[in-house]
């Protein structure tokens, strides 16, 4: 009996165990088969944190692959609050090191959780200071910070980013999705006690790099000369654009005020504004180019036709308009050269409002150019049906129409290149690693559109040369190259009276060089220059001259006007002993003291024999300098200019093709800012040095 009871007990125990095991396995099976996903997600939420951090943005380069924007690795401090034993002490120590409010740090640490940023993208010295505290529960994560090595240079084109590396301006904003990539994430793991114990990268995808059409050295020249003009005229703002008229590519785009994109948040909105594409202004007399282009293209006049300019006064649509001078009989060439308002109005009246409006639209006014930069304005152009009787007269001389500097320089480029309107652009190519990516969308090159006949463009170029040789643009005359252009002095509206101001103007000059094979188109615009005179011919044209005389030799553009030996001798004497300044280390030679005989030679190149070699001149070299003059024999104008810019020397370039002679001689010791004259065009003295 006792043995039977034992068997019964064993059976009961076995049954209970079987039921218990069945329940356990059933529960496990239920959890694994039916609740697996739910509990896995809960565990992941409790133990795993995925934190989004800034990805490494692609670099931005100029057209010669000089970096204008790059991402640098930096340290960001974060904490695991559950591991911090004394939040009050840690807050006090960190507040002192990081110069942030103690209450803010303590609030973060007492908020609980497994992850909290303390401060992101620390300077190296602050990161080291935090590490030296050796606080438990504090860690570092490597992130990327945007860095602009050239600071203000090209800032309005390159743009800037916020703390999360999101593009907020310029190319950084326009191509943010491509440059930024897909982002990066870090994974933070925690155990049951919420202690951080492991981490790793969940994703890493670097962005696309962008190569711009900007040239770092051309941009530097444009910004330097604009800054010098602002300092001299006390203008409140200004813009310089340098464009390749044969492609629409922007080689330089400079604005004043300027800002440092490394500290963009500290700059006022006015400084961050890209005035070249956003600021709308009445173009004034530069718009007479459009008036004449339309009339020539319609065969309604010719350069030698004479108009009676009514002694400087004309009534159009019931409105009497006065010229800046009392002109009588003027040819069309003289109307442009002397910038006669009455003459321009008479030509426009012959053209008629409908045709005039069509040409204005064809040149791109009243619509965005489509440039690959954010914030472009379309300008202001009333529909034809809204024109009043006096509108045709006002618009013919650049009033009642609003343009942007980019629209104006693009229209003048179409005259320079023979009548084709190109879409201006700043992106040359995009790269991922070593792979060149195809351009699409706004960055893709567009076919140019013909706006005037080649014959019309050629006629207008000849008249624009006359503006510089004989008219209002004499201060823009280049030493060594032909050039054409047009001055503009547009009165601004006085907000107090609603009428045109007698003192505040937009002074501008737009031109190109050389005449027969233009390599660059340059626009200079100064807002409200002070003092008298303050017209475009007096304050903007000289800036065009200084920029062109530095950019053309840098681009290896051959001279098409002979330089006289007397002119070169003057350059030597003016350059001897000159001191350099921060804005003058590449200043062109000032040839204002040239003689009347030299002027006649420059006016009529065809009457001059082939360009002579310069005479042997002994230059007083500043002994005791620490710069050794390189041997330039066999080098191009661009190579000589780059070398001088790098060393801080002031190049005086004469001739074309390859360098053959120089003074001071190679190896001479000179001071920074000394002028080095290099003759091009002969056989190099040291043929072995040719590169």
- Residue entry with tokens 């100029």: 62
Q: Which of 296-305, 427-436, 567-576 has the highest mean pLDDT?
A: 296-305
Average pLDDT, the chain: 82
Give the pLDDT confidence score for residue 181 in this predicted structure.
Answer: 72
Q: What is the mean pLDDT of residues 364-372?
A: 95
Instruction: Give residues with Cβ within 8 angstroms of 13, minimum separation 6.
Output: none
Q: How confident is the model at residue 135 (pLDDT cuts 50, 70, 90)?
A: confident
Q: Per-residue pLDDT tens for 87-119? A: 888 888 888 888 888 888 888 887 766 778 888
52-66, 321-335, 417-431, 570-584: range with highest mean pLDDT? 417-431
In DSSP notation, 456-490 reads HHHHHHHHHHHHHHHSTTGGG--SSS--EEEEEEE
Q: What is the dihedral of CA 473, 474, 475, 478, to 10 degrees?
A: 110
Question: In sequence order, which ranges of 313-404 are alpha helices (DSSP H)?
Answer: 332-338, 341-351, 353-362, 391-396
Q: Tell me: the pLDDT tens digits for 593-604?
A: 333 333 333 334
Q: What is the pLDDT of residue 44?
A: 60
Give CA angle at 279 (238, 352), nearest 5°: 110
505 to each of 281, 411, 540, 647, how far by Cα in Å?
Answer: 10, 22, 12, 39
**Residue range 295-315: mean pLDDT, rounded:** 93
Q: Check whether the bond before 264 is cis (ω within 30° of 0).
A: no
- Please determine, for residue 617, whether its predicted confidence score (pLDDT) is greater than 50: no
Residues 6+ apart with CB under 8 A from 241: 222, 250, 252, 253, 254, 276, 405, 406, 409, 522, 523
Nearest-angstrom CA–CA distance, 138 and 119: 11
Question: What is the C-alpha separation between 177 and 343, in angstroms, rounded?
Answer: 52
Instruction: Provide the pLDDT for residue 145.
Output: 87
Of 211, 209, 215, 210, give the one whose Cα is nearest residue 254: 215
Closest CA to 89 of 152, 134, 24: 134
Q: What is the pTM assigned to this prediction?
A: 0.76
Average pLDDT over residues 658-664: 86
Q: Is the CA virtual torsion 612, 617, 620, 626 positive or negative?
A: positive
> Per mean pLDDT, which range of 63-77, 159-173, 312-326 is the poorest?
312-326
Given the structure tokens 């000289």, which residue do they identify? Answer: 542
C-beta separation of 506 from 492 below 8 A:
yes
Predicted pLDDT at 39: 65
- Give the pLDDT of residue 27: 76
The pLDDT tens digits for 547-581 are 999 999 999 999 988 765 555 554 444 444 333 33
In the predicted model, is pLDDT for residue 606 greater than 60?
no
pLDDT for 20 equals 80
DSSP string spanning 168-230? EEHHHHHTHHHHHTT-EEEEEEE-TT--EEEEEEEE-----EEEES--HHHHHHHHHHHHHHH
d(CA 312, CA 344): 12
In degrees and rounded to multiples of 5, residue 152 shows phi and psi of -70, -15
The C-alpha atoms of residue 334 and residue 343 are separated, in whole angstroms, by 9
281: confidence class by pLDDT, cuts 50, 70, 90? very high
Would you state the pLDDT for residue 586?
34
Q: 620-637: per-residue pLDDT in tens?
A: 344 457 788 999 998 887
Q: What percent of the chain has pLDDT over 70?
A: 81
> Which tens digit of pLDDT belongs to each residue from 642-651?
788 778 787 7
Answer whether 681's CB lies under 8 Å from 656's CB: yes
Three-state DSSP state, 132: helix
Which tops the pLDDT comparison, 133 or 546? 546
Exposed, middle or buried by CB within 10 Å (0-12, 13-18, 19+), for 215? buried
């Amino acid at each position: 009996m006792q043995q039977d009871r034992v068997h019964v007990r064993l059976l009961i125990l076995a049954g209970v165990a079987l039921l218990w095991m069945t329940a356990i396995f059933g529960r496990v099976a239920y959890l694994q088969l039916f609740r697996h996903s739910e509990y896995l997600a809960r565990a992941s939420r409790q133990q795993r944190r995925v934190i989004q951090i800034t990805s490494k943005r692609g670099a931005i380069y100029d057209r010669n692959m000089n970096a204008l924007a790059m991402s640098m690795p930096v340290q960001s401090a974060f904490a695991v609050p559950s591991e911090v034993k004394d939040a009050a002490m840690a807050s006090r120590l960190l507040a002192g090191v990081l110069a942030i409010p103690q209450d803010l740090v303590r609030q973060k640490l007492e908020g609980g959780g497994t992850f909290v940023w303390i401060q992101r993208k620390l300077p190296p010295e602050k990161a080291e200071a935090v590490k030296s505290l050796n606080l438990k529960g504090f860690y570092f994560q490597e992130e990327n910070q945007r860095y602009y090595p050239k600071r203000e240079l090209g800032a309005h084109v390159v743009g800037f980013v916020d703390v999360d590396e999101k593009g907020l301006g310029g190319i950084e904003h326009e191509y943010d999705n491509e440059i930024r990539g897909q982002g990066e994430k870090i994974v933070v793991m925690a155990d049951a006690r919420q202690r951080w114990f492991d981490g790793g990268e969940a994703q890493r995808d670097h962005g696309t790099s962008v190569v711009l059409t900007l040239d770092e050295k051309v941009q530097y020249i444009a910004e330097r000369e604009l800054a010098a003009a602002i300092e001299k005229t006390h203008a409140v703002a200004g813009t310089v654009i340098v464009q390749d008229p044969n492609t629409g590519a922007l080689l330089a785009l400079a604005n004043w005020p300027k800002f440092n994109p490394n500290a963009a948040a500290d700059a006022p909105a006015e400084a961050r504004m890209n005035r070249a594409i956003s600021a709308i202004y009445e173009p004034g007399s530069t718009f007479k180019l459009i008036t004449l282009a339309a009339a020539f293209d319609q065969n309604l006049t010719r350069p030698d036709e004479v108009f009676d300019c009514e002694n400087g006064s004309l009534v159009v649509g019931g409105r009497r308009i006065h010229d800046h001078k009392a002109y009588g009989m003027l040819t069309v060439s003289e109307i442009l050269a002397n910038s006669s308002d009455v003459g321009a109005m008479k030509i426009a009246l012959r053209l008629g409002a409908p045709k005039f409006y069509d040409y204005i639209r064809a040149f791109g006014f009243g619509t965005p150019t489509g440039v690959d930069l954010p914030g472009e304005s379309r300008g202001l152009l009333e529909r034809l049906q809204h024109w009043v009787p006096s509108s045709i007269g006002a618009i013919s001389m650049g009033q009642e129409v609003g343009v942007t500097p980019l629209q104006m320089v693009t229209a003048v480029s179409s005259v320079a290149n023979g009548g084709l309107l190109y879409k201006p652009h700043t992106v040359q190519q995009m790269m991922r690693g070593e792979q060149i990516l195809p351009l699409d969308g706004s960055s893709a090159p567009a076919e140019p559109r013909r706006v005037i006949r080649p014959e019309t463009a050629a006629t207008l170029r000849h008249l624009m040369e006359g503006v510089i040789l004989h008219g209002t643009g004499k201060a823009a005359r280049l030493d060594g190259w032909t050039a054409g252009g047009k001055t503009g002095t547009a009165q601004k509206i006085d907000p107090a009276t609603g009428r045109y101001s007698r003192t505040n103007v937009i002074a501008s000059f737009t031109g190109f060089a050389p005449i027969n094979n233009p390599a660059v188109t340059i626009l200079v615009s100064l807002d409200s220059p002070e003092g008298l005179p303050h017209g475009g011919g007096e304050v903007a044209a000289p800036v065009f001259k200084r920029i062109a005389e530095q950019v053309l030799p840098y681009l290896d553009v051959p001279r098409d006007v002979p330089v006289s030996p007397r002119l070169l001798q003057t350059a030597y004497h003016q350059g001897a002993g000159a001191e350099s300044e921060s804005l003058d280390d590449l200043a062109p030679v000032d040839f204002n003291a040239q003689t009347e005989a030299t002027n006649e030679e420059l006016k009529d190149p065809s009457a001059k024999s082939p360009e002579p070699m310069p005479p042997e001149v002994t230059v007083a070299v500043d002994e005791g300098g620490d710069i050794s003059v390189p041997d330039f024999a066999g080098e191009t104008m661009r190579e000589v200019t780059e070398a001088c810019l790098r060393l801080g020397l002031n190049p005086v370039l004469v001739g074309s093709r390859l360098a053959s002679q120089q003074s001071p001689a190679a190896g001479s010791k000179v001071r920074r800012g000394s002028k080095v004259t290099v003759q091009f065009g002969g056989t190099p003295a040291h043929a072995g040095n040719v590169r």
